[in-house]
Amino acid sequence: MMEDIPEREARAYETPNGDTIFITQRDGMYYAYQNVCPHLQVELEFLENQFLDRDQEYIECSTHGALFMVETGECISGPCLGQSLEKVEISVHSDGGIYLIND
């Protein structure tokens, strides 16, 4: 995966095993999660690559508006309060490429 992901934006990807994940950048760090809301197990975004809330502060589920911490995936508001997105381990190589670990 070599696509550039700007700060405070997110991009969806399909993994080789068919999962959909998304990656977002915050303060120079990248965070990746399975694209599955812990509330009803649906995908989070309604519009392509729109995973963040209006202020681009939290990850937001478009179905019922649950908000998740970018750094931890923990739901801090909404029907799945206290549950978390499932984190995907990634590594960022020196060439700027982002790679899945164990995949």
**Which parts of this chain interact with ligand FES (CB under 6 A)?**
37, 39-40, 42, 61, 63-64, 66, 78-80
Shortest approach of ligand FES to residue 42 CB, angstroms? Answer: 5
Q: What are phi and psi of 77, to 5 degrees?
A: -160, 140
Tokens of 23: 């990656």
Specify the residue, 49 or 91, whose C-beta has the smaller distance to ligand FES.
49
Shortest approach of ligand FES to residue 97 CB, angstroms? Answer: 31
Shortest approach of ligand FES to residue 63 CB, angstroms? Answer: 4
Specify the residue, 10 or 80, whose C-beta has the smaller distance to ligand FES.
80
How many Cβ atoms from other residues are within 10 Å of residue 28's Cβ? 7
Angle among Cα 77, 80, 86 to the nearest 5 degrees reads 105
Specify the residue, 46 or 99, whose C-beta has the smaller distance to ligand FES.
46
d(CA 1, CA 43): 21
